[in-house]
Amino acid sequence: MTSLLQEWDDLPAVDHHCHPLLHLNTKLTAIDLRRPFTEAIDDNVIREHTQHSVAYRRALRILAAELGCDPTEEDVLGSRNEVDPVEYANRLLKKSRTGLMILDHGYAGGEAMSPAEHSATIETPQLHVVRLETAAEGLVASSESVTDWLDAARSMLRDAVDGGAVGVKTIAAYRAGLQLLEPDPSRAAADFKILRARAAAGETVRLLGEPLCHTLLVAAAEECSRLGVPLQVHCGLGDPDEDLALANPLGLRRLFVEPRFANLKVVLLHCYPFHREAAYLSSVFPNVYMDLSLAIHLAGQDGARALEEALGLCPTSKLLYATDASRFAEVYLVAAVLYREALAGALGRLVDSDWLTRAEAVEAGRQVLSGNAERTYQLIAP
Ligand SMILES: [Zn+2]
Least Cα distance to 234 among 278, 174, 275 occurs for: 174
Q: How many residues does the chain have?
A: 382
What is the C-alpha to C-alpha distance for residues 39 and 185, in angstroms, rounded to an integer?
A: 35
Separation of CA 235 and ligand 1 centre (Å): 10
pLDDT digits (tens, 9 = 90+) for 64-80: 999 999 999 999 999 99
Q: Which amino acid is at 306?
A: A
Query: Nearest-5° angle of CA 15, CA 253, CA 207?
Result: 70
pLDDT digits (tens, 9 = 90+) for 54-66: 999 999 999 999 9
* Cβ 93 vs Cβ 124: under 8 Å: yes
209: left (phi over 0), alpha (psi -120 to 50) or beta: left
Query: Nearest-5° angle of CA 311, CA 180, CA 215?
Result: 130
More confident residue, 241 or 365: 365
Separation of CA 280 and ligand 1 centre (Å): 22
Q: How many domains does the chain fold into?
A: 1
More confident residue, 244 or 374: 374
Separation of CA 104 and ligand 1 centre (Å): 7
More confident residue, 382 or 280: 280
Q: Is the pLDDT of residue 241 over 80?
A: no
> Band of the pLDDT at 381, cuts 50, 70, 90?
low
Separation of CA 19 and ligand 1 centre (Å): 6
Q: List Cβ neighbours of 125 (8 Å cut-off, separation of 6 or more).
A: 99, 100, 101
Separation of CA 18 and ligand 1 centre (Å): 6
Q: Is the pLDDT of residue 147 over 70?
A: yes
pLDDT digits (tens, 9 = 90+) for 106-123: 876 668 999 999 999 999
Helix or strand or coil: residue 19? coil
Q: Report the relative pairing of strands 13-18 and 231-235 from DSSP bridges.
A: unpaired
Separation of CA 52 and ligand 1 centre (Å): 24
Separation of CA 268 and ligand 1 centre (Å): 11
Q: Give the structural domain span for 297.
A: 5-26+96-376
Residue at 51 is within a domain? no
Residue at 256 is within a domain? yes
Q: What is the mean pLDDT of residues 291-307?
A: 93
pLDDT digits (tens, 9 = 90+) for 182-234: 889 999 999 999 999 999 999 999 999 999 999 999 999 999 999 999 999 99
pLDDT digits (tens, 9 = 90+) for 355-364: 999 999 999 9
126-131 β-sheet, strand order:
13-18, 98-104, 126-131, 168-170, 231-235, 266-270, 288-291, 319-320
pLDDT of 107 reads 76
**% of the chain exceeding 90 in pLDDT:** 89
pLDDT digits (tens, 9 = 90+) for 29-50: 999 999 989 988 889 999 999 9
Residue at 40 is within a domain? no
Residue at 364 is within a domain? yes
Separation of CA 20 and ligand 1 centre (Å): 10
Q: List Cβ neighbours of 345 (8 Å cut-off, separation of 6 or more).
A: 304, 308
Q: What is the mean pLDDT of residues 231-249?
A: 87
Give the pTM.
0.95
Separation of CA 241 and ligand 1 centre (Å): 14
Separation of CA 108 and ligand 1 centre (Å): 8
pLDDT of 27 reads 87
What is the domain-level CATH number for residue 173?
Answer: 3.20.20.140
Q: Give the 3-state secondary structure of 165-207.
A: CCCEEECHHHHCCCCCCCCCHHHHHHHHHHHHHHHHCCCCCCC
Q: Which amino acid is at 113?
A: M
Q: What is each CA distance from 375 to 174, 212, 368, 370, in whole angstroms? A: 29, 32, 11, 9
Helix or strand or coil: residue 337? helix
Separation of CA 86 and ligand 1 centre (Å): 23
> Band of the pLDDT at 245, cuts 50, 70, 90?
confident
Which run of H or of E encompasses 31? helix 30-34
Least confident of 22-26, 174-178, 371-375: 22-26
Which run of H or of E encompasses 245? none
Separation of CA 284 and ligand 1 centre (Å): 25
What is the C-alpha to C-alpha distance for residues 302 and 83, in angstroms, rounded to an integer?
A: 34
Separation of CA 123 and ligand 1 centre (Å): 21
Separation of CA 293 and ligand 1 centre (Å): 8
> What DSSP string runs through 305-324?
HHHHHHHHHS-TTSEE----
Residue at 64 is within a domain? no
> Band of the pLDDT at 26, cuts 50, 70, 90?
confident
Q: Report the relative pairing of strands 126-131 and 168-170 from DSSP bridges.
A: parallel
**Average of per-residue pLDDT values in the chain:** 94
Residue at 209 is within a domain? yes
Q: Which amino acid is at 84?
A: D
Separation of CA 192 and ligand 1 centre (Å): 26
What is the C-alpha to C-alpha distance for residues 224 and 261, in angstroms, rounded to an integer?
A: 9
Residue at 142 is within a domain? yes
Residue at 306 is within a domain? yes
pLDDT of 286 reads 96
- Residue 295 CB neighbours (<10 A): 27
